[in-house]
Structure 1
Amino acid sequence: MHARVAAATTAALLGGALLVLPTSGARAKTEGGTPVIVSHRGASAYAPENTLASIDKAAAMGFRWVENDVQRTKDGRLVVLHDASLARTTDVEQVYPGRAPWNVKDFTAAEIARLDAGSWFGSQYKGTRVPTLNQYMNRVSHNHQKLVLEIKNPELYPGIERQTLKLLSNDGWLDPAHLKSRLVVQSFSADSVRTVHDLRPAIKTAFLGTPSVAQLHEYAQFADQINSSYTTISSGYVAALHAFDGPHGRPVEIFTWTVNDADSARRVAHYDVDGVITNKPDVVREALQGR
């Protein structure tokens, strides 16, 4: 491994100009060798993000992988929502006008269940609700989908890692079949990713960000993926990343985000990324099929 790490690191420092020695083990990607397409917060360009409607839309469009964000209510329930505040994607300001800044952690699950999480996106989605994680997992299972689950703002919710894993276990998502190919748990917090890995080492984990090449060996101890913004990576960086073996003895992968146009999709595919996270999965699919 040391030889390929050294070669890949040199390539990264020189902009990817050098050849990289082949890596061992299997990486994610489809059978055709193209990157996996992950619907970001569901098919969020076409239905309100992080709702059951958004993952149903992804399923209807033929996409198996979806991504979501998990946070915790005042009374300890896990819900699927991206922002720390409910204001952008619900009518919370109208329903609870005196409770600014309307943070998720300051509302009970019952209070959040009253909110309209669809009208902001379009009148056809009026009455759409913020799903609990349990409701969300039931729908993902019903749709036979796969999930990249993001633990959002873990610093606001002590113990959310253990709580999330308990719910996933209760819903049957930590059995060998799911762990092999249907679940990734990610976070922008390295401590949170490390906690997930320590609690359940069999889970595939991902760190959100772009650590320096010099730091990759540290992250490879607990992260199977480094999932970076597409604006921060190069072919050399991806090659350097792939040269490291992650905690399960396979090359570290990268699912890059948030890629919503054809040119960017083709560019990151040329970088040899393993997955593309996108609000417009149909646009990415068409671009990659035409490579």
Structure 2
Amino acid sequence: MLSFRLSPLLFAILVTIVLAWAGAAAQARKQLIAHRGASGYAPEHTAAAYRLAMEQHAEFVEPDLAVTKDGVLICLHDDALKRTTNAAEVFPQREPWLANDFTLEEIKRLDAGSWFKPAFAGQRIQTFQEAIDLVRGKAGLYPELKSPELYRSRHVDQVKLFVDVIRKNGLDKPESLKTTPVIIQSFDEEAVRRVAKELPSIPRVLLVERDGDVSEPRLRVIKTFATGVAPEKSLVAQHPEMVKQAHALGLTVTCWTFRADEKTTFASVRDEMAHFLYDLGIDALFTNNPDQFPRR
């Protein structure tokens, strides 16, 4: 039998090459999630913001999901329509303008662009189905179930509506996930646990913003129903050890939210994102400014 031995120098060189390759591969896997679309440059959750996010090479577009009075999932961050539409002008007598008090037909009458900039006048709130049709095959979808407790209190099964849309579109199928990856997120543990049972093929991320949620014991609990954890970025800055702890448990770590218009100790939002991605080692992040993502 032919055998050989590597010299210590050659062995060291090979180890260095392998580690460098592994490091480069890990960096290549860093993921950019466009927060409400490219919301630093276009009105959040409009088709314009989603298209721009894809043009700026986002791996994922993030639709926040609310529910209309007639049971349709729409892309909206707030429970109410007032901040990002002209609902108060069109329906002055219907304060506080909760989206769940309006039908889809009524919501489609609203201008969702002018509040951001006059050039976007006429942009409309999208349904989740419209967002799927726009993004599918071009980027991934990273939907957030917003305010599940609100809908539970109104006897609206938001999770079922979400599961039904995902299944109707076949987005939980392996062949679809290859071209249009989907990751579901929520602050609501009950909702994430339910999705884990009903859509086991879809990765699930629990959003957190409390110190106790990034402790190792809590991360162990999160691992039982989620595939990742998404702490507010200040938590990771204060508890950088949680990244390795989460990774050791097989959890991904995704931080939010990075915005160019926020004053921080960093020279730019690009520098801030680079620190979290490459120094602290997180896997992905949400940003309003996809074009500033520091790829390496």
Residues 230-278 of structure 1 deviation map (CA, whole Å, 9 limit, x = unaligned): 111133111111111xxxxxx1101111022123212211111010110
1:219 aligns with 2:232: no
Whether the 8 Å contact between 2:31 and 2:59 is mirrored in structure 1 is: no
**1:78 maps to amino acid:** L
Match for residue 201 of structure 2? 202
Whether the 8 Å contact between 1:162 and 1:199 is mirrored in structure 2 is: no
Counterpart-to-counterpart distance in 2, 1:61 and 1:208 = 25
Aligned-residue offset at 1:130: 0.4
Match for residue 236 of structure 1? 241
1:150 aligns with 2:144: yes
Counterpart-to-counterpart distance in 2, 1:79 and 1:114 = 14
Aligned-residue offset at 1:220: 0.3
Match for residue 3 of structure 1? none
Displacement over 4 Å in runs of 4+: 29-32
**1:215 maps to amino acid:** R
For structure 2, list consecutive stretches of 5 or more residues without a partner in the other structure: 1-23, 260-268
Higher relative contact order (CA 8 A, sep 6+): 1
Match for residue 177 of structure 1? 175
Aligned-residue offset at 1:284: 2.3
User: Out of 103, 106, 114, which is 1:111 matched to?
Assistant: 106
**1:237 maps to amino acid:** M
Match for residue 192 of structure 2? 193
Give TM-score, length-normalised by structure 2: 0.81
**1:60 maps to amino acid:** E
Aligned-residue offset at 1:30: 6.6
User: Out of 118, 133, 137, which is 1:138 matched to?
Assistant: 133
Aligned residues: 253
Counterpart-to-counterpart distance in 1, 2:29 and 2:145 = 27
Secondary structure of 1:111's match?
A: helix
1:264 aligns with 2:268: no
**1:281 maps to amino acid:** P
- Percent sequence identity over matched residues? 33
Aligned-residue offset at 1:32: 4.4
Counterpart-to-counterpart distance in 1, 2:187 and 2:27 = 30
Q: What's the Cα RMSD here?
A: 1.8
Residues 73-121 of structure 1 deviation map (CA, whole Å, 9 limit, x = unaligned): 1111111100001000000000000111101111111110100000011
Counterpart-to-counterpart distance in 2, 1:197 and 1:266 = 31
Whether the 8 Å contact between 1:179 and 1:204 is mirrored in structure 2 is: no
Residues 121-161 of structure 1 deviation map (CA, whole Å, 9 limit, x = unaligned): 111110000011111111011x6110111000111223211
Secondary structure of 1:257's match?
A: strand
Match for residue 96 of structure 1? 91
Structure-2 change in CA distance of 1:59 and 1:209 (3 Å): same
